A = this chain, B = another copy of it.
Amino acid sequence: MKATVYVTIKQNVLDPQGSAVEGALHSMGFDEVSKVRVGKYLEFDLNITDRAEAESRITTMCEKLLANTVIEDYRYELV
């Protein structure tokens, strides 16, 4: 299976990286841009055939390593 994980900073948490990118875009003349949020995007292969097991393993990976659940949200896709 192929997994894609999206890790984003929670809405109520300040996103300094997003603010920096927004500022840079504005300084380059892209004033139409607002509310920039920056996150991580991971792709990987999973050598598991059972979907439920794959979902459980990905959740554990996210909770333990891929996302800092205090300040980040995560979601994933499995194909």
- Within the complex, the shortest CB–CB distance from A79 to chain B, in Å, comes to 14
Q: How far is the CA of A40 from the CA of B48 in the complex (A)?
A: 26
Chain A interfacial residues counted at CB < 8 A: 34
Copies of the protein in its oligomer: 2
Q: How far is the CA of A36 from the CA of B4 in the complex (A)?
A: 10
Q: Are B25 and A65 in contact (CB under 8 A)?
A: yes
Please name the residue on chain B nearest to A60 by beta carbon. Answer: B30
Q: Are B36 and A21 in contact (CB under 8 A)?
A: no
Q: Are B57 and A32 in contact (CB under 8 A)?
A: yes
What is the 8 Å Cβ interface bit string for chain A, positions 1-19, against chain B (1 contact, 0 not)? 0000011100000000010
Q: CB within 8 Å of B: which residues of A?
A: 6-8, 18, 21-22, 24-25, 28, 30-48, 57, 60-61, 64-66
